Amino acid sequence: MKNRNNYNYLLSDLDNLVGVGKKTMMILKKKNINNIFDLLWKLPKSYTDRSVINKINELQIGKISTVKVIPIKYIFPRVRNLPNKVICEDITGKINCIFFNSYEGYIKKILPLNEEVTISGKINIFKNQYQITNPTYLSKDSSIIEKVHNKYSLTEGITEKSYNKIIKQILQNLPLLKEWHDIKILKKFGNESWNNSIIKLHDPNNIANYKSNFYKRLAFDEIFSSFLVKSQIRKKIKKIKKDSKKFTQISYSNTLKKLRFDLTNDQNKALNDINKDLTSKSKMFRLLQGDVGSGKTIVSLISALNVIESNFQVALMAPTEILARQHFNLAKELFPKNISIQLLSSKSENSEKKKIIKNLANNEIKMIFGTHAIFQKKIIFSKLGYIIIDEQHKFGVRQRKLLSDKGGKNCDILLMSATPIPRTLTMTIYGDMDVSLIKEKPNHRKEVKTYSKPESKIDDVINFVKKEINNGSQIFWVCPLIEESKKIDHQSSVKKFTFLKKIFPNKVGLLHGKIDIDEKEKILYKFLNKEYSILVSTTIIEVGIDFPNANVIVIENSNKFGLSQLHQLRGRVGRGSKQSSCILLFKSNLSQNAKKRINILKNSNDGFEISEEDMKLRGFGDLLGFKQSGIKNFKLADPVQNEDLFILAEKEIQKIEKNNHDIQRYKPLLKLYDQADIINDIV
Q: Which residues bind ligand ADP (CB under 6 A)?
A: 261, 263-264, 267, 290, 292-298, 418, 442, 444, 544, 546, 575
Which is nearer to ligand ADP, 178 or 258 (by Cβ)?
A: 258
Q: Which of 206, 272, 283 shows the shortest CA–CA distance to 244?
A: 283
Q: How far is the CB of 262 from ligand ADP (least distance, A)?
A: 6
Q: Which residue number is nearest to ligand ADP in terms of Cβ?
A: 295
Residue 575 contacts which entry, Mg ion, ligand ADP, none (Cβ below 5-8 A, type-dependent): ligand ADP
Q: How far is the CB of 338 from ligand ADP (least distance, A)?
A: 23
Q: How far is the CB of 261 from Mg ion (least distance, A)?
A: 16
Backbone angles phi, psi at 132, to 5 degrees: -120, 125
Residue 264 contacts which entry, ligand ADP, Mg ion, none (Cβ below 5-8 A, type-dependent): ligand ADP
Which is nearer to ligand ADP, 232 or 417 (by Cβ)?
A: 417
Which is nearer to ligand ADP, 256 or 339 (by Cβ)?
A: 256
Residue 582 contacts which entry, ligand ADP, Mg ion, none (Cβ below 5-8 A, type-dependent): none
Which is nearer to ligand ADP, 121 or 544 (by Cβ)?
A: 544
Question: If 0-12 CB within 10 Å is exposed, 13-18 middle and 19+ buried, where does residue 463 land?
Answer: exposed
Backbone angles phi, psi at 547, to 5 degrees: -115, 85
Which is nearer to ligand ADP, 257 or 444 (by Cβ)?
A: 444
Are residues 116 and 69 in contact, defined by beta-carbon separation less than 8 angstroms? yes
Binding to Mg ion (CB under 5 A) within 160-219 occurs at none
Q: How far is the CB of 576 from ligand ADP (least distance, A)?
A: 8
Residue 292 contacts which entry, Mg ion, ligand ADP, none (Cβ below 5-8 A, type-dependent): ligand ADP
Q: How far is the CB of 614 from ligand ADP (least distance, A)?
A: 19
Element (H, E) at 138: strand 137-139
Torsional sign, CA 98, 103, 106, 109:
positive
Distance CA 145, CA 136 (A): 10
Q: How far is the CB of 420 from ligand ADP (least distance, A)?
A: 11
Which is nearer to ligand ADP, 325 or 575 (by Cβ)?
A: 575
Residue 304 contacts which entry, Mg ion, ligand ADP, none (Cβ below 5-8 A, type-dependent): none
Residue 638 contacts which entry, Mg ion, ligand ADP, none (Cβ below 5-8 A, type-dependent): none
Q: Which of 517, 335, 299 shows the shortest CA–CA distance to 415?
A: 299
Kindly write out the interface string for residues 510-549 of this chain, putting x where it contacts Mg ion by CB under 5 A and - elsewhere.
----------------------------------x-----
Residue 232 contacts which entry, ligand ADP, Mg ion, none (Cβ below 5-8 A, type-dependent): none
Question: What residue type is assigned to position 621 of the chain?
Answer: G
Residue 294 contacts which entry, ligand ADP, Mg ion, none (Cβ below 5-8 A, type-dependent): ligand ADP
Which is nearer to ligand ADP, 189 or 547 (by Cβ)?
A: 547
Which is nearer to ligand ADP, 293 or 639 (by Cβ)?
A: 293
Q: How far is the CB of 164 from Mg ion (least distance, A)?
A: 54
Q: How far is the CB of 415 from ligand ADP (least distance, A)?
A: 12
Q: Which of 262, 265, 307 shows the shortest CA–CA distance to 411?
A: 307
Q: Quick one: CA torsion of 184, 188, 191, 195, rounded to 10 degrees?
A: -110
Q: How many CB atoms lie within 10 A of CB 296?
A: 25
Residue 295 contacts which entry, Mg ion, ligand ADP, none (Cβ below 5-8 A, type-dependent): ligand ADP
Q: How many CB atoms lie within 10 A of CB 469?
A: 17
Q: How far is the CB of 334 from ligand ADP (least distance, A)?
A: 10
Q: How far is the CB of 575 from ligand ADP (least distance, A)?
A: 5
Q: How far is the CB of 293 from ligand ADP (least distance, A)?
A: 5
Which DSSP string corresponds to 588-619?
SS--HHHHHHHHHHHH---HHHHHHHHHHHH-
Kindly write out the interface string for residues 543-562 of this chain, putting x where it contacts Mg ion by CB under 5 A and - elsewhere.
-x------------------
Are residues 477 and 483 in contact, defined by beta-carbon separation less than 8 angstroms? no
Q: Quick one: CA torsion of 631, 635, 640, 644, rounded to 10 degrees?
A: -100
Q: How far is the CB of 441 from Mg ion (least distance, A)?
A: 13
Number of H helices, E strands in the chain: 23, 22
Element (H, E) at 389: strand 384-390
Which is nearer to ligand ADP, 434 or 546 (by Cβ)?
A: 546
Residue 235: CA count within 13 A, CB half-sphere: 20
Which is nearer to ligand ADP, 135 or 571 (by Cβ)?
A: 571
Which is nearer to ligand ADP, 197 or 326 (by Cβ)?
A: 326
Distance CA 192, CA 197 (A): 6
Which is nearer to Mg ion, 283 or 296 (by Cβ)?
A: 296
Q: Does 574 bind Mg ion (CB under 5 A)?
A: no
What are the Cα distances from residue 27, in Å, to 20, 21, 159, 169, 276? 10, 10, 12, 19, 53
Report the Cα–Cα distance between both ends of the chain, in Å, rounded.
Answer: 25
Q: Which residue number is nearest to Mg ion in terms of Cβ?
A: 544
Nearest 5 degrees, angle CA 359-CA 360-CA 366? 100
Q: How far is the CB of 373 from Mg ion (least distance, A)?
A: 19
Size of the site for Mg ion (CB under 5 A): 1
Residue 290 contacts which entry, ligand ADP, Mg ion, none (Cβ below 5-8 A, type-dependent): ligand ADP
Element (H, E) at 64: strand 64-75
Which is nearer to ligand ADP, 152 or 369 (by Cβ)?
A: 369
Residue 286 contacts which entry, ligand ADP, Mg ion, none (Cβ below 5-8 A, type-dependent): none
Distance CA 213, CA 429 (A): 26
Are residues 479 and 298 in contact, defined by beta-carbon separation less than 8 angstroms? no
Are residues 95 and 129 in contact, defined by beta-carbon separation less than 8 angstroms? yes
Write out the residues near Mg ion by the rule CB under 5 A. Answer: 544
